[in-house]
């Protein structure tokens, strides 16, 4: 919906006790460009941003032990319409979150076990997720991809929350 460009070089950013270097933020900017250039159809992709570890607050203290992460986050708007001028605009704020992160959160958190000093997660198989089954599991399996296959990936059928 909008092409994001970065006219100036990144400067260091600090969130809580984590400082992100210009090199790390440059990698995140590259990921933003990759998301924008590879997503089809382009009309639904909006709000592509550089993303870093979430600032700690009263409701996410159990994520304090996660590693410093950075990358790109995009919202893919699911309800679109044409305005009076014929331009594609959002009909609602309904969206799917797509992110590519370095050291990102992986799997499903085990909230009952997590503490500020320890973070645990599970990787439930599709058979336990009540969606899609074996056919969808094969469709989203990136293990055989020549580039992405060397990195861990996870497809969640749970609705995204933002």
H/E element holding 36? helix 22-38
The reported pLDDT for the residue numbered 157 is 61
Please tell me the distance from the alpha carbon of residue 136 to that of residue 96, in angstroms, as a whole number.
17
pLDDT in tens, 87-107: 888 889 888 888 889 998 878
For 52: left if phi > 0, alpha if psi spans -120 to 50, otherwise beta; the answer is beta
pLDDT above 90 (res 51):
yes
């Amino acid at each position: 919906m909008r092409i994001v460009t970065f006219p100036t070089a990144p400067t260091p950013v600090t969130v809580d006790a984590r400082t992100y270097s210009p090199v790390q933020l440059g990698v995140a900017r590259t990921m933003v460009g990759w998301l924008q250039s590879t997503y089809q159809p382009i009309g639904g992709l909006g709000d592509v941003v550089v993303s870093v570890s979430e600032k700690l607050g009263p409701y996410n203290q159990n994520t304090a032990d996660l590693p410093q992460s950075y990358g790109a986050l995009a919202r893919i708007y699911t309800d679109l319409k044409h305005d009076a001028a014929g331009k594609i605009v959002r009909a609602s704020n309904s969206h799917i979150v797509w992110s590519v992160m370095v050291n990102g959160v992986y799997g499903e958190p085990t909230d009952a076990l997590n503490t500020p000093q320890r973070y645990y997660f599970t990787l439930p198989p599709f058979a336990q997720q009540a969606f899609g089954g074996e056919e969808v599991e094969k469709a989203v399996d990136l293990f055989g991809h020549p580039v992405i296959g060397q990195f861990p990936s996870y497809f969640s059928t749970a609705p995204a929350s933002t």
